[in-house]
């Protein structure tokens, strides 16, 4: 087949879609990729700090999910996959470091003992007796993680275990996230008849987890994936081009774009922009879908990448309890977590800020100052001198992640079903955040468009 296809967005979703479209349409197809940014990559971005290049957007992918691993292997990058070292994260609460709760499901403990020193005896009794109390769960219900866990296990468990885990993934507190959205395995166990939260967590954590590392990254950073996708997809990449809308033109589509190139007569369009941007782009061609997409809120965040002199805590990172007294929400001790980043002149780390409803408003200099002060507090609690910062850079993501509140997945499925033939969406807003989820939606979107283009010929 050949054809003329547009991809709006040049992050991992858009570039994966372009790659699959090229494979399906062949060498003669014309594939335009548009991005308003100056470079492709979206949330895959690197910065050099203290002479070390490190990712300052998405950092790793789940190896046990097939999407990212399959794509990396297809592109010939499997030999570049690296795994974290053996250190585990710690949790910052009550002015000190605690072991990460285990066994637990996204911070929801299997037993009170899993929480160790994070809770007191009163909170421990609430968890120990949870299975003796009746539980009101409706099959198919979609409730708040924070509210449900707080009702069953208490507020301290949410603030000191669940919030730290989910906050790093979704940039939101547990009370703002749906159980079905953020911890689908838990919802499935409850739907299947688990009589208590304790029983549901035990069912999930008791399943065989497989062997080998959970997470992986690329030795050269995610830039390797971006470059490889562009090389394999061979699209015409148009940077600095803002697309304002998609219009139907008979059986084909036109783009309203800020460019002098021809953006008319596309056989199909893949919208791989953030879900709230997709809402604006699709208002004319898919009003019902656009309305659904437009209800999604954005959670902003910022990463301060830092190079320091001196020793760092012997953890892969630090997750901060939501009732703690620090400005940042997490620390990734990158030189400890990733062996390939160790051994340089300086240790490197990432300090993360921002959650849904808590925008990062400090200027860059103040943000670096806050990161430095909080690092000093954590290092002191670990028995280490305050780190000497030798280099730092700030990467802001004002609208980085979509809000996965209760009912989000059902709403996105309903909105996506209203898309016309020849239009597809892809990205983190539809079926999960993270690189594997983005790749999955992109491949499904490309398959949908290939069927449509095939029907046109």
Distance separating alpha carbons of residues 138 and 156, to the nearest angstrom:
25
DSSP E strand stretches across 283-379:
298-309, 317-320, 330-332, 347-353
CB atoms closer than 10 angstroms to residue 191: 15
Q: Which residues pair with 424 in a beta bridge?
A: 270
> Looking at domain 59-98+207-221+298-402, which CATH architecture does it have?
Alpha-Beta Complex (3.90)
DSSP label at residue 385: P
Q: What is the reported pLDDT for 211?
A: 67
Kindly give the parts of the chain with pLDDT less than 70.
1, 210-211
Q: What is the reported pLDDT for 359?
A: 87
Distance separating alpha carbons of residues 219 and 264, to the nearest angstrom:
40
The model scores a pTM over 0.85: yes
CATH code 3.90.660.20 region(s) in the chain: 59-98+207-221+298-402
CB atoms closer than 10 angstroms to residue 377: 16
Residues 119-171: tens digit of each pLDDT: 999 999 999 999 999 999 999 989 999 999 999 999 999 999 999 999 989 99
Q: What is the reported pLDDT for 326?
A: 96
Does CATH place domain 104-132+140-205 in 1.10.3110.10? yes
Residues 397-421: tens digit of each pLDDT: 998 899 999 999 999 999 999 999 9
Write the CB contacts of 115 (distance below 8 Å, at least 6 apart in sequence): 101, 109, 123, 124, 127, 157, 160, 161
CATH code 1.10.3110.10 region(s) in the chain: 104-132+140-205
Encoded tokens for 213: 């590392």
Write the CB contacts of 208 (distance below 8 Å, at least 6 apart in sequence): none
Residues 210-261: tens digit of each pLDDT: 667 889 999 999 999 999 999 999 999 999 999 999 999 999 999 999 999 9
Q: What is the reported pLDDT for 213?
A: 82
What would the CATH number be for the domain defined by 4-42+222-296+404-456?
A: 3.50.50.60
Cβ burial 313-326 (10 Å sphere, 16+ → b, else e):
bebbbbbbbbebeb
């Amino acid at each position: 087949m050949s054809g003329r296809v547009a991809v709006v967005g040049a992050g991992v979703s858009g570039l994966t879609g372009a790659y699959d479209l090229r494979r399906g349409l062949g060498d003669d197809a014309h594939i335009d990729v548009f991005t308003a940014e100056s470079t492709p990559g979206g949330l895959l971005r690197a910065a050099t700090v203290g002479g070390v290049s490190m990712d300052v957007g998405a950092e790793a992918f789940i190896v046990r999910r097939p999407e990212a691993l399959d794509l990396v292997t297809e592109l010939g990058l499997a030999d570049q996959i690296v795994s974290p070292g053996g250190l585990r994260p710690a949790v910052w609460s009550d002015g000190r470091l605690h072991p990460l709760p285990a066994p637990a499901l996204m911070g929801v403990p299997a037993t009170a003992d899993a929480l160790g020193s994070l809770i007191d005896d009163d909170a421990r009794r609430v968890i120990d007796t949870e299975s003796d109390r009746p539980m009101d769960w409706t099959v198919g219900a979609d409730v708040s993680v924070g509210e449900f866990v707080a009702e069953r296990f208490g507020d301290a468990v949410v603030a000191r275990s669940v919030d730290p885990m989910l906050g790093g993934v979704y940039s939101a507190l547990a009370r703002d996230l749906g159980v079905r959205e953020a911890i689908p395995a838990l919802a499935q166990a409850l739907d299947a008849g688990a009589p208590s939260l304790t029983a549901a967590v035990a069912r999930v954590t008791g399943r065989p987890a497989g062997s080998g590392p959970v997470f992986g990254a690329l030795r050269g950073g995610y830039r390797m994936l971006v470059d490889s996708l562009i090389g394999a997809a061979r699209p015409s990449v148009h940077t600095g081009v803002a697309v304002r809308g998609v219009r139907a033109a008979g059986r084909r589509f036109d783009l309203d774009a800020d460019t002098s190139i021809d953006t008319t007569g596309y056989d199909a369009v893949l919208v791989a922009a953030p879900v709230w941007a997709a809402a604006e782009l699709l208002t004319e061609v898919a009003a019902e879908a656009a309305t659904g997409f437009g209800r999604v809120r954005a959670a902003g965040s910022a990463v301060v990448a830092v190079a320091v002199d001196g020793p760092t805590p012997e953890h892969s990172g630090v997750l901060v309890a939501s009732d703690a007294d620090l400005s940042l929400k997490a620390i990734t001790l990158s030189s400890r977590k990733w062996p390939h980043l160790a051994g340089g002149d300086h240790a490197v780390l990432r300090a993360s800020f921002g959650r849904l409803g808590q925008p990062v408003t400090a200027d860059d200099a103040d943000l670096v100052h806050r990161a430095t002060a909080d690092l000093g507090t954590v290092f002191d609690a670990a028995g280490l001198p305050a780190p000497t910062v030798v280099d730092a850079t700030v990467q802001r993501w004002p609208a980085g992640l979509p809000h996965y509140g209760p009912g989000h997945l059902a709403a996105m499925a309903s909105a996506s079903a209203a898309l016309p033939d020849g239009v597809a969406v892809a990205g983190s807003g539809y079926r999960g955040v993270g690189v594997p989820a983005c790749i999955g939606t992109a491949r499904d979107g490309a398959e949908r468009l290939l069927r449509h283009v095939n029907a046109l010929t």
